Amino acid sequence: MPGPLEGVVVVDLSRVVAGPQATMALADLGARVIKVERPGTGDETRGWGPPFVDGVSTYYLSVNRNKESIELDLKADAGRAVLERLVRRADVLVENFRTGVMDRLGLGTARLRELNPRLVVLSITGFGHDGPEGGRPGYDAIVQAEAGIMAVTGPPGAPSKVGLSIADILAAHNGVAGVLAALYERERTGRGTVVRTSLLASVVAAHMFQGTRWTVAKDDPEPVGNDHPSLAPYGTFACADGALQIGVANQDLWRRFAPLVGLDPGDPRYATIPDRTERRAELAADIERALAAGTRAEWLARLAEAGVPAGTIRTVGEVYEWAQTRSQGLVVEVEHPDLGRVELPGPPLRFDGAPPRAHTAPPRLGEHGDAIMAWLDEPDERDGDH
């Protein structure tokens, strides 16, 4: 079954994570994504590891499924000429170069509009395209530090980064939302536009309650480990054989949870959310005294019966073996030319009535160059141009 973006052609000039994650999401939705790579080396993540399997970087595999690859030297006239041909045929172009690189390549906004007025451009940077630090380079870990993620993550006194490339991923998904909105707008206006986002913008936009703690209350958040800064009990608690994550986020849940651990819901020490948050350490000690009498499985069953949200703490490997993960289509199988049948993390969206899509493996470097060049020589069915 074709995806909802069938017929949309995306030229992907991006590398590393934010851009490739965005173009993979567009590919998952049915777009044709042509990944333009540096001759000989390609996307930097092809060399990122360990782990490598038979010389293939598992990092690269994570954000490049369902794409085609062509090698072009964009510093050479011949490479830029092919890219211009691709731009003329494309609906979307995605790049995550530093500010000014596209202009130096002779493919600034004005030139792109001249080549293809209907083109939607997604441009992702680290810290924004303008402002006092516009154009500053920024990998995910740098932006996690600069944009406040590390300030609210980890145990008290030990700011930590998230174990995923979360700034990149947020920027990618914000970029995809912008592209989809621009394609919809193009249906009315007939013209494309430039969508701009950054890792900084995407993280700050995701601050949510941590942001308003400062902007409204002038309370500068600090790390609280696995606890929640505004709720209790809400975090990690030890049982006889390990830990559980438990979330008691309202008074109704508290009234159901407290008796399970031998507490009176009306105990004045813990009667309200602010009371419990203020005494979180004392409350946690009371809860863990009760939890110590049972195993994780026993407590999960009791909590589930009472309707209290709780879960075990899984390893990444356990997540991918979990029947619920697989039931949601979150693991896909592809045929890789070097590795054979391999499993990859799958897309997060499903559409009612549509069967699961077949997926293709992340491409070898330049794997589709001849096919792409042959396609460029075919007439463009949309306007009759060659």
Residues that are catalytic: 168
Distance, CA of 237 to CA of 15 (rounded, Å): 41
Distance, CA of 307 to CA of 138 (rounded, Å): 43
- Please list the alpha-helical segments (H only) found in 206-346: 209-215, 251-260, 273-278, 280-291, 296-306, 316-321, 323-327
H or E element that contains 112: helix 109-115
93 forms bridges with which residues in the sheet? Answer: 11, 121
Distance, CA of 279 to CA of 275 (rounded, Å): 6
Closest alpha carbon to 64 in 42, 85, 86, 79: 42
Cβ-based burial of 298 (10 A; exposed 0-12, middle 13-18, buried ≥19): middle
Cα separation values, 310 from 201, 244, 284, 318, Å: 32, 7, 15, 17
245: DSSP letter: E
Residues 6+ apart with CB under 8 A from 319: 325
H or E element that contains 242: strand 242-247
Residue with tokens 């809400």: 234
DSSP 26-82: HHHTT-EEEEEE-TTT-SGGGG--S-EETTEEHHHHTT-TTEEEEE--TTSHHHHHH
Whether the link from the prior residue into 233 is cis, omega within 30° of 0, is yes
The token pair at 303 is: 């909590």
Cα separation values, 110 from 139, 194, 329, 357, 371, Å: 28, 11, 42, 37, 29
